[in-house]
């Protein structure tokens, strides 16, 4: 690659400037928002891929992709542009970019009336570009003490500084949750906290495989630096600044299209295992699950059917039904529906070479095409897939999308299975020049591998929406890139059963949340490897109940199944933990609504809300669920104590279980036993809860509880309760404001509601912590 150094002003534009580099390449600088700039490089004045599927400020991108020149959805304020003989400056009131000679970009933010540098290119060469290909690199200076977060689904510490990571979608079954890289998702986005100049983020809108080196690499000829390197595609990045990290997290989620709002039942316990559908009597095994949850009185809302229902022999064939193992899928679905349990079916985007319908699909041209180098006839690409070879469906072909929707509808939805689990969609195609139809303009698969699972999931979503137009759909997808969250929930893939997986999966989930993926979870109990011992299984369930996706899923080496009742000695405690999740569903559902409507992350590292507390930035085994619940479950084998840090907060923290109040800014050493689930509530919060629910639908709750956790001393704050019927698209809703005021003598709760609907349960019991002794006053304001 060549280091680009020389530049000249080619044109001033309404949104910024265009520079000509080395006399041949174009560098466009656009001001999209007062604190959001975009920088894009066109080699020889042309895009390598002139479309994007990840950027969607309006909420979605066209099926064929959004034109990279499209600036709709941004306010595009007019910047101030000034030039000298060797520098050009593009500025808003808050953010400015100075381009120096030789080419170097310096980014500055206005803080207290003064400009402060928060990021800059490496002085010894910031942008490199391939001469014979489209490989490229971007080098930034690295400063001591900077903390780097993001990159989505990555193992290891939340602070990525000093590490090296690869973006290449991979089916990493049984991965090491502390060290394995790469994994399933492609998220080229980082957030950086500086010590003196606020926080900044950079999102590289490129779907080709790439690498991030955040301080692992050293070179004697350069000052400390960090690097982004891509094997193909365009250098097209979004640079944003904010005083606080939370603003950048929300901006990234909005930039990539926001978060889907699935039905309320998706927050309930979801059962799953490979073993049931792999068994010769798969239908009996699945129906037996209904008997077991009833016998053990386990609340449950859904079951995720693994792919064994599609088997012929030992292999799996998407949309095929094994009639011997599953003689009456419609009858089975009806039994689940009678119990209020939703079925979710596993589907895969690759047809094995001996699939009964392979010839039909090949003749219709629905697969990706092999490159001429790989196949002189340019027939369907062939890749290793599930113990054989197969060909991947091309979701940039409108005919493929129609075929997929039709089969989702007839094979699943028409049989009573209402939701899809879009799995094994990493598109591990070795032929990097295999051709995608590109909706009429062919594209190498290497340029858009991570968008295929997004389009696959979108096709499934549209089929579900067409089948049940008044209902909000629920989907899961394992692989993808930014934008996937517009359609589906996701999870951390096929983890391995181990104590350390419990700890490091928790941090992996926080990394995804910081990167704009809010609705996430993990396979509770571990998917592959040995079955979890009783203590590990219990602790995993106690942790899993606080994640948006709560699914116990397994494919144990010894063919056992992870089920809530698998160990009688801890079954009662597991039932108690699951029931606690159901009690918290009103709070969880409100958090889900806030994620979809207000871009608020559901899972939050402590520093996201308490960044002024230096201790909150340390690597932590605790996290926040919403703004108000601090989760510190036990993660160590044989633990007798659990150290918990309570961030500095003037209202202090309440122990949810004991009702004891604690000052913020201190460590607690809590004694723990098997039943212990350390959980704290921010002083000043109201936690809405429900009682009596065996399902996650609002009508299943028999009573509403408002648990008040007032601040000590003088304080005023507002919590929320969002309610609707739990599933209807654009249905009537009600948002109740729970205003809690306290002083040294009394506590006052004032409630008021807005929206076309009414509270699902019109009356609520109000409870206070056991240690609270002040007078309680209540008031309800009737909306005009």
**Per the domain annotation, does 157 fall within a domain?**
no
CB hemisphere CA count around 784 (13 angstroms): 0
- Domain end (from 218, 238, 255): 255
> Any bridge partners for residue 631, and if so which?
623, 679
Interval 132-155: pLDDT, tens: 999 999 999 999 889 999 999 999
Q: 612 with 581, same domain?
A: no
Token duo for residue 140: 């930034």
Q: Total structural domains in the chain? A: 3
> What distance in Å separates the CA atoms of residue 243 and residue 286, rounded to the nearest whole number?
51
Which CATH number do you get for residue 634? 2.60.40.1180
pTM, entire model: 0.97
Token duo for residue 655: 């122990």
- Taking the CA atoms of 244, 246, 250 and 253 in sequence, report the sign of the dihedral they define: positive
**Which residues, 6 or more positions from 560, have their beta carbon under 8 angstroms from its beta carbon?**
275, 531, 554, 566
> What distance in Å separates the CA atoms of residue 154 and residue 206, rounded to the nearest whole number?
18
Q: What is the mean pLDDT of the chain?
A: 97
Helix pair angle (282-295, 329-338), 10° resolution: 10
Q: 85 with 220, same domain?
A: yes
* pLDDT higher than threshold 90 for residue 197: yes
Name the 3-class secondary structure at 725: coil
- Domain end (from 562, 589, 616): 589
Q: Provide the pLDDT for residue 374.
A: 67
Q: 508 with 559, same domain?
A: yes
**Per the domain annotation, does 564 fall within a domain?**
yes
**Per the domain annotation, does 637 fall within a domain?**
yes
Q: Which residue from 552, 529, 555 is spatially nearest to 276, judged by alpha carbons?
A: 555
Q: Provide the pLDDT for residue 376.
A: 67
CB 383, CB 169: distance < 8 Å: no
Q: 240 with 364, same domain?
A: no
CB 164, CB 214: distance < 8 Å: yes
Interval 208-255: pLDDT, tens: 999 999 999 999 999 999 999 999 999 999 999 999 999 999 999 999
Which CATH number do you get for residue 469? 3.20.20.80
**Per the domain annotation, does 162 fall within a domain?**
no
Q: How confident is the model at residue 377 (pLDDT cuts 50, 70, 90)?
A: confident
> What distance in Å separates the CA atoms of residue 171 and residue 239, rounded to the nearest whole number?
31
Q: 323 with 234, same domain?
A: no
Q: 490 with 623, same domain?
A: no
Percent of the chain exceeding pLDDT 90 equals 97
Q: 192 with 274, same domain?
A: no
Q: 245 with 300, same domain?
A: no
Interval 466-483: pLDDT, tens: 999 999 999 999 999 999
Q: Provide the pLDDT for residue 372.
A: 85
What is the average per-residue pLDDT within 303-311?
A: 97
Weakest mean pLDDT among 422-436, 613-627, 667-681, 770-784: 770-784
Distances (CA, A) of 773 to 705, 745, 768: 19, 9, 9
> What distance in Å separates the CA atoms of residue 288 and residue 304, rounded to the nearest whole number?
14
Q: 300 with 428, same domain?
A: yes
Across the beta sheet with 350-352, the strand order is 350-352, 388-392, 383-385
Q: 647 with 754, same domain?
A: yes
**Per the domain annotation, does 164 fall within a domain?**
no
Give the burial class of 297: count Cβ atoms within 10 A of its Cβ; 0-12 exposed, 13-18 middle, 19 or more buried.
exposed
Q: 713 with 761, same domain?
A: yes
- Domain end (from 225, 255, 285): 255
* H or E element, residue 434: none
**Per the domain annotation, does 520 fall within a domain?**
yes
- Taking the CA atoms of 688, 691, 697 and 699 in sequence, report the sign of the dihedral they define: negative
Q: Provide the pLDDT for residue 784.
A: 40
What is the average per-residue pLDDT within 302-329?
A: 97
* pLDDT higher than threshold 90 for residue 311: yes
**Per the domain annotation, does 750 fall within a domain?**
yes
Which CATH number do you get for residue 84? 2.60.40.1760
Q: Residue 356 is part of which domain span? A: 264-589
Q: Provide the pLDDT for residue 780.
A: 80
Q: 343 with 434, same domain?
A: yes
Interval 27-56: pLDDT, tens: 999 999 999 999 999 999 999 999 999 999
**Per the domain annotation, does 359 fall within a domain?**
yes
Q: Provide the pLDDT for residue 781.
A: 73
């Amino acid at each position: 690659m060549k280091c680009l150094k020389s530049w000249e002003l080619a044109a001033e534009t309404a949104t910024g400037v265009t520079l000509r580099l080395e006399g041949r390449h174009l560098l466009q600088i656009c001001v999209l928002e007062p604190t959001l700039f975009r920088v894009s490089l066109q080699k020889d004045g042309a895009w390598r891929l002139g479309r994007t599927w990840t950027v969607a400020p309006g909420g979605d991108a066209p099926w064929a992709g959004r034109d990279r020149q499209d600036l709709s959805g941004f306010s595009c304020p007019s910047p101030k542009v000034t030039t000298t003989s060797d520098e050009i400056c593009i500025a808003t009131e808050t953010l400015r970019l100075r381009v120096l000679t030789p080419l170097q970009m310096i980014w500055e933010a206005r803080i207290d009336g003064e400009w402060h540098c928060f990021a800059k290119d490496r002085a010894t060469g910031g942008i490199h570009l391939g001469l014979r290909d489209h490989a490229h690199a971007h080098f930034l200076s690295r400063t001591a003490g900077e903390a780097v977060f993001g990159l989505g689904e990555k193992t290891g510490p939340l602070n990525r500084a000093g590490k090296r990571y690869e973006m290449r979608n991979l089916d990493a079954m049984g991965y090491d949750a502390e060290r394995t890289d790469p994994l399933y998702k492609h998220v080229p986005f980082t957030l950086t906290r500086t010590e003196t100049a606020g926080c900044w983020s950079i999102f590289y809108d490129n779907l080709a495989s790439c690498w991030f080196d955040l301080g692992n690499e050293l070179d004697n000829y350069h000052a400390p630096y960090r690097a982004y390197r891509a094997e193909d595609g365009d250098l097209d990045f979004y640079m944003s600044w904010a005083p606080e990290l939370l603003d950048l997290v929300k901006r990234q989620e909005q930039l990539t299209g926001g978060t889907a709002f699935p039905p309320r039942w998706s927050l309930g316990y979801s059962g799953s295992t490979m073993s049931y559908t792999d068994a010769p009597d798969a239908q009996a095994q699945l129906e037996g699950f209904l008997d077991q949850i009833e016998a053990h009185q386990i609340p449950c809302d859904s079951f995720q059917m693994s792919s064994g229902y599609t088997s012929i022999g030992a292999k799996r064939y998407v949309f095929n039904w094994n009639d011997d193992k599953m003689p009456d899928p419609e009858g089975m679905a009806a039994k689940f529906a009678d119990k209020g349990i939703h079925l979710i079916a596993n589907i895969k985007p690759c047809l094995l070479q001996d699939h009964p319908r392979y010839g039909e699909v090949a003749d219709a041209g629905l697969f990706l095409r092999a490159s001429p180098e790989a196949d002189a006839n340019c027939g369907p690409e062939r890749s290793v897939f599930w113990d054989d070879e197969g060909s991947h469906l091309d979701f940039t072909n409108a005919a493929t999308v129609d075929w997929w929707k039709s089969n989702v509808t007839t094979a699943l939805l028409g049989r009573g299975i209402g939701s899809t689990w879009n799995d094994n969609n990493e598109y591990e195609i070795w032929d990097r020049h295999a051709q995608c139809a590109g909706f009429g303009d062919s594209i190498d698969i290497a340029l858009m591998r991570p968008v295929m699972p997004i389009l696959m999931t979108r096709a499934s979503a549209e089929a579900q929406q067409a089948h049940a137009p008044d209902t909000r759909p629920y989907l899961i997808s394992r692989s993808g890139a930014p934008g996937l969250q517009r359609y589906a929930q996701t999870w951390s893939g096929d983890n391995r059963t181990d104590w350390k997986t419990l700890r490091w999966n928790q941090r992996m989930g926080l990394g995804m949340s910081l990167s704009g993926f809010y609705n996430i979870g993990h396979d509770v109990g571990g998917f592959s490897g040995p079955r979890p011992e009783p203590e590990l299984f219990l602790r995993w369930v106690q942790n899993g109940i606080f994640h948006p996706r709560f699914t116990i899923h397994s494919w144990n080496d010894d063919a056992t199944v992870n089920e809530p009742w698998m160990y009688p000695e801890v079954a009662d405690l597991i039932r108690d933990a699951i029931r606690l999740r159901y009690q918290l569903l009103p709070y969880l559902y409100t958090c889900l609504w806030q994620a979809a409507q207000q871009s608020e992350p559901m899972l939050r590292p402590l520093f996201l809300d308490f960044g002024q507390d230096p201790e909150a930035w340390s690597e932590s085994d605790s996290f926040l669920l919403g703004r108000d619940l601090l989760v510190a479950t036990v993660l160590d084998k044989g633990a007798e104590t659990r150290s918990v840090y309570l961030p500095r907060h003037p209202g202090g923290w309440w122990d949810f279980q004991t009702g004891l109040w604690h000052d913020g800014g201190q460590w607690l050493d809590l004694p723990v036993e098997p039943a212990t689930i350390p959980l704290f509530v921010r002083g000043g919060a109201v936690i809405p809860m429900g009682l009596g629910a065996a399902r996650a639908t609002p009508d299943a709750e028999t009573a509403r509880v408002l648990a008040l956790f007032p601040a000590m001393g003088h304080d005023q704050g507002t919590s929320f309760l969002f309610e609707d019927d739990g599933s209807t698209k654009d249905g009537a809703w009600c948002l109740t404001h729970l205003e809690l005021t306290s002083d040294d003598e009394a506590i006052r709760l004032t409630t008021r509601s807005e929206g076309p609907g009414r509270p699902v349960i019109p009356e609520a019991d109000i409870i206070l912590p056991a240690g609270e002794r002040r007078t309680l006053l209540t008031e309800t304001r009737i909306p005009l």
